[in-house]
Amino acid sequence: MIDRNSRTILSVQGLRASINGTEILKGIDLTVKSGEIHAIMGLNGSGKSTFAKVLAGHSAYEITGGSVQFEGNNLLELPPEERARAGLFLAFQYPIEIPGVANTQFLRLAYNTVQTKRGKEELDPLEFDDFVREKMKLLEMNPDFLDRSVNEGFSGGEKKRNEILQMALLEPTLSILDETDSGLDIDALKTVANGVNQIANKNNATILVTHYQRLLDYIVPDYVHVMQAGRIVMTGGKELALELETRGYDWVNTGKSITGAIA
Amino acid sequence: MSDLANTDYLECLLKSWSIKSTESLSWLNQLRAHAIDCVNTQKLPTRRDEEWRFTDISPLTHLPYQPSQSECNLQLHDIEHLTLKEAKNRLVFVDGHYSSNLSTIIDPTALVIGNLPEFVAAHASILESHLGQHVQFDNNVFAALNTAFLRDGALIIVPKNITIAEPIHLLFIATQNEVTSYPRCLVIGETGSNVTLIEDYVALQQTTYITNSVTEISLAANAHAKHIRIQRESTQAFHLANCAVSLAHASNYQSTSISLGSQISRYNLHVRLTDEAAECVIDGLTLISDRQLADTHTCIDHVKPNGTSRQQHKCIVDDAAHAVFNGKIIVRPHAQQTNSSQSSRNLLLSKTAQVDTKPQLEIFADDVKCAHGATVGQLDQEEIFYLESRGLSEKAARNLLTYAFGAEIISRIPVTSLRQQLEQAVLSQTQSN
């Protein structure tokens, strides 16, 4: 929801980043305030997933310009784990499989690491088990997934649920969901969206990175941004997503949007 | 190294050999005599032999350690930390010699279990048809030497359609310095039987010695065996081992072998699927550091149609250690519909660590499925980033992923207390601070 009195969580100004000498992000400006849900849409190769990874601190990308403030602090000088501890969360497009590590071990390790850094109490295995099972209900996840290896042999939908479960456990201030809708059937999509909606509140914010409008039927954004060639070229309300769906990405270049404003 | 040194070494070993008076059976003497002949016609392998290309055992030529003497003073409390609570039947061999004091046999009526010589007379015909009949001596001087020195050994015969629920622990303890021990195991699974074995090589101190072991496993039709093999010898030791497995119709063999100890170790595992529809699953983990060398040679031989084999071998190599994996898969001309997969994955933790991995497929049938793959590398950057994005430090992420790499194999061991011991061993060896 948009609220005039909300605080700024993320402020991105003129962000430029490259990988192996190729510039991918060419000057991004974006402000996200508490309580807001932003959707970043764009074609493959527009730089939207890179933007998500750069915010989370992926070391393969080199920052070549601009600034990112996260709750008033310089995000770019923090290593990825400190960004996570500070309250930034990235739900991966392709979650990593870790054979040999039980999901519950991994979830508890992540939870306790983040809790400790935030000056809160750790949970022992029994306490954590109760806690995580409660959170799993939110995503209609079978508790059997606790004992299996992290993401190993999970279907696409199960992996995405597991990402949102981690989000629910870590209680981030800013969640970035990178193509969370890809590979989900409609039932899984509804469940995942329902989970995200329940986690979203007036004190945190969400950025949805997506190619398609479909997800936005279930998680309604306050803002829709269109990315193209490493820049946000248009920003509008939730109607912009529908317009993109019917008219395609090509018309963005013509600049004749009804609802969107050229950035 | 000169051939002279080679010959001297073997002669020196054989000189110490003498026929024990208790053994009067002619077939057994013939087996030994044949083994000695084999030793006499062979030389100690060098790196000029294809099968030993990556493994230099020349340090052995300076160590013609005599066979260990039976002088066990161990009490049960000395080995308590080595026992496994799940294993009710335990055979203990100290420096290759059977110790009845340390062994426990709870149910001698359900199966034949004990020290080989005790059964030689009563089970002569079955022993004659299996002992020394599965392992190959030619071009295998160590198996021949073991057979030449054959005396004590673990014997297990699981009768027809009998399932032994609890695992059987075969514990080989090294105590003496500068000796060679010759452990021997023979496991016969009769039709429809089912058994779980733990073959476990340990040392009480960091002594220097040679273990030269031979294990033979024969499964009749529809028999099942799980074979867990743990090599956690002294890191000063030399471990040279041969295991030969014969699988009859629709039998099922699952092996998990873990190599942690020894300065130089070599494990040859030879599995023959001698009849249709036999299955084997072969997993291995080598975890070594310092200047250790661990060599695993496996051969899965599909002789008849409809066989299945799945193999996963992993090595975690730190410091200046060197791991070798050679995985041969043979599919004979009539072994149609064979389904075989092999994966060799290797993790190098330091710049001086070394891995030589060689998948070797010899396929002579045309209607088969054979997949194989090998990777050698460091930890994946994307995996590290995933864990970092969940709040773990880079070090914690690396430690977790390294642990997981080994734990994947260990997690398949169906004996809880052993699995926990090994997880602890992996944890302590893979966690840098």
CA neighbor of B149 nearest in space, from B305, B28, B327: B28
Q: Which of residues 37-76 of A touch B (CB under 8 A)?
A: 56-60
Question: Higher model confidence: residue B60 or residue B397?
Answer: B397
CA neighbor of B381 nearest in space, from A108, A124, A247, A19: A19
Q: Is A99–B388 a contact, with Cβ atoms under 8 angstroms apart? A: no
Q: Is A3 contained in some domain?
A: no
Q: Is A193 contained in some domain?
A: yes
The structural domains of chain B, with segments of one domain joined by +, span 3-275, 379-433
Collapsing DSSP to helix, strand or coil, B365 comes out as coil
* B3-15 vs B141-148: helix crossing angle, rounded to 10: 20
Q: Cβ of B383 under 8 Å from any chain A Cβ? A: yes
The shortest CB-CB distance from A113 to any of B383, B391, B394 is to B391
Q: Is A98–B401 a contact, with Cβ atoms under 8 angstroms apart? A: yes
B408: chain A residues, CB-CB within 8 Å: 99-100, 149
Chain A residue with the nearest C-alpha to that of B397: A81
pLDDT at B265 (0 to 100): 97
pLDDT at A88 over 50: yes
Distances (CA, A) of B285 to B228, B267, B346, B357, B372: 11, 12, 10, 13, 17
The shortest CB-CB distance from B391 to any of A92, A110, A149 is to A110
pLDDT at B23 (0 to 100): 56
A113: chain B residues, CB-CB within 8 Å: 390-392, 396
Q: Identify the CATH number of the domain in which residue A42 sits.
A: 3.40.50.300
Give chain A's domain count.
1
Contacts of residue B81, Cβ cutoff 8 Å, sequence gap at least 6: none
Q: Cβ of B396 under 8 Å from any chain A Cβ? A: yes
pLDDT at B355 (0 to 100): 97
Question: Higher model confidence: residue B4 or residue A248?
Answer: A248
Q: Cβ of B408 under 8 Å from any chain A Cβ? A: yes
pLDDT at A99 over 60: yes
A-to-B residue pairs, Cβ atoms closer than 8 angstroms: 77
Share of chain A above pLDDT 90, in %: 81
pLDDT average, residue stretch A158-170? 95
Q: Residue B186: CA atoms inside 13 Å, Cβ hemisphere, count?
A: 26
Rounded (5°) CA angle A43-A46-A49: 95
The shortest CB-CB distance from B383 to any of A79, A90, A96 is to A96
Question: HEC states along B244-290?
Answer: EEEECCCCEEEEEEEECCCCEEEEEEEEEECCCCCEEEEEEEEEECC
pLDDT at A260 over 80: no
Q: Is A185 contained in some domain?
A: yes
Structure tokens at A45: 């190769």
Mean pLDDT of chain A: 92
The shortest CB-CB distance from B391 to any of A58, A101, A117 is to A117
Mean pLDDT of chain B: 92
User: Based on C-alpha coordinates, what's the Rg of chain B?
Assistant: 21
Q: Tokens 């496994």 appear where?
A: B84
pLDDT at B5 over 90: no
The shortest CB-CB distance from A101 to any of B380, B393, B404 is to B404
Q: Cβ of A95 under 8 Å from any chain B Cβ? A: yes
**B184-189/B154-158 β-pairing:** parallel
Q: Cβ of B423 under 8 Å from any chain A Cβ? A: no
Structure tokens at B323: 């791991």
Q: DSSP readout, B43-91?
A: ----TTSGGGTT---GGGGG--PPBPP------HHHHGGG--TT-SEEE
Q: Cβ of A238 under 8 Å from any chain B Cβ? A: no
Contacts of residue B307, Cβ cutoff 8 Å, sequence gap at least 6: B273, B276, B277, B278, B279, B335, B338, B339, B340
Q: For chain A, give percent helix, strand, coil, nearest 5.
A: 35, 30, 35
Q: Cβ of B364 under 8 Å from any chain A Cβ? A: no
Task: Give the whole-angstrom CA distance, residue B279 versus residue B108.
Answer: 29
pLDDT at A152 (0 to 100): 93
Q: Is A59–B385 a contact, with Cβ atoms under 8 angstroms apart? A: yes
Please, which residues bridge with residue A150 across strands?
A98
Structure tokens at A231: 């820049």
Q: Is A92–B386 a contact, with Cβ atoms under 8 angstroms apart? A: yes
Q: Is A110–B390 a contact, with Cβ atoms under 8 angstroms apart? A: yes
pLDDT at B328 over 60: yes
Amino acid at B172: F
| A178-220 per-position pLDDT tens digit | 999 988 899 999 999 999 999 999 999 999 999 888 999 999 9
pLDDT at B2 over 70: no
Q: Is A39 contained in some domain?
A: yes
Q: Cβ of A113 under 8 Å from any chain B Cβ? A: yes
pLDDT at B3 (0 to 100): 46
Chain A residue with the nearest C-alpha to that of B404: A100
Chain B residue with the nearest C-alpha to that of A176: B389
Collapsing DSSP to helix, strand or coil, B134 comes out as coil
Question: Higher model confidence: residue B403 or residue B11?
Answer: B403
A92: chain B residues, CB-CB within 8 Å: 386, 389
In contact, B223 and B248? CB cutoff 8 Å: yes
| A44-57 per-position pLDDT tens digit | 899 999 999 999 99
Structure tokens at A184: 């989900």
Mutate to test the interface with A, among B386, B410, B422 (most CBs of A within 10 A): B386
Chain B residue with the nearest C-alpha to that of A167: B390
Query: How far apart are the CA of B382 and the nearest CA of chain A, in angstroms?
Result: 8
The shortest CB-CB distance from A100 to any of B390, B393, B405 is to B405
Q: Is A114–B406 a contact, with Cβ atoms under 8 angstroms apart? A: no
B394: chain A residues, CB-CB within 8 Å: 79, 81
pLDDT at A123 over 80: yes
Q: Tokens 């997690």 appear where?
A: B411
pLDDT at B156 (0 to 100): 97
Q: Cβ of A261 under 8 Å from any chain B Cβ? A: no
The shortest CB-CB distance from A80 to any of B388, B396, B409 is to B388
pLDDT at B9 (0 to 100): 75
Share of chain B above pLDDT 90, in %: 79
Q: Is A58–B385 a contact, with Cβ atoms under 8 angstroms apart? A: yes
Q: Is B386–A89 a contact, with Cβ atoms under 8 angstroms apart? A: no
Task: Give the whole-angstrom CA distance, residue A172 versus residue B181.
Answer: 60
pLDDT at B212 over 60: yes
Q: Which of residues 92-121 of B touch A (CB under 8 A)?
A: none
Task: Give the whole-angstrom CA distance, residue B139 versus residue B41.
Answer: 9
pLDDT average, residue stretch B316-334? 96
Query: Residue A205, class by beta-carbon neighbours within 10 Å (0-12 exposed, 13-18 middle, 19+ buried)?
Result: buried
pLDDT at B7 (0 to 100): 59
In contact, B97 and B152? CB cutoff 8 Å: yes
The shortest CB-CB distance from B389 to any of A56, A98, A149 is to A56
Distances (CA, A) of B385 to A95, A117, B44, B275, B389: 11, 19, 49, 48, 6
Structure tokens at A235: 């920003």
Structure tokens at A255: 């600049």
Q: Cβ of A11 under 8 Å from any chain B Cβ? A: no
Q: Is A101–B406 a contact, with Cβ atoms under 8 angstroms apart? A: no
Q: Cβ of A89 under 8 Å from any chain B Cβ? A: yes
Q: Is A79–B388 a contact, with Cβ atoms under 8 angstroms apart? A: yes
The residue segments making up the domain with residue A53 are 8-97+173-262
A100: chain B residues, CB-CB within 8 Å: 403-411
pLDDT at A73 over 90: yes
pLDDT at B25 (0 to 100): 72
Q: Is A128 contained in some domain?
A: no
